[in-house]
Structure 1
């Protein structure tokens, strides 16, 4: 069978989903995780008696403890968002396989 010159096989396949939302979510989750690490270090420094030189930052032990707990929660939230978006980016919607049956790439 002879193919014509204007044949394009890409038109036969359905378009895949847009991945920019998941990439943006992964970047936002990574940003939350980085911010959580930095704030954790600041909270630990306050608890150890070496407060960082940041304007308008209360250097009491209670404030350091609150900052440490809030930053650990922010770190955990960022990691969960980042992992969920990365998992969604890696798994295509072609086959419905259980996540534990997929190859491990990380």
Structure 2
């Protein structure tokens, strides 16, 4: 049995997201990537933060795979553990069939917020 066999049928049937860059294309304006077209010459400043980052950055994946001793295709980049856990639950657990209690831990803001007094 493979990991794919464990995924929900509707997840296996999905077409993977393809970013505008992965689909190819040439030029400096990426309207199909929902990006603002009129940035100045690229330097990482607040004025040039008009591009979405690559969702699965190849260099990060390759370096982490090497560090972890796994294949690059076994690595998924997420925006943190919470998103990674949520993605796993959504991919492998059937609504109404599987029972999972997913509790997000409090953020620094809610953890330090004043508590109501009695």
Whether TM exceeds 0.5 here: the answer is: no
Query: Which has the larger share of helix?
Result: 1
TM-score (norm 1): 0.24
TM-score (norm 2): 0.23
Question: Which structure has the larger Rg?
Answer: 1
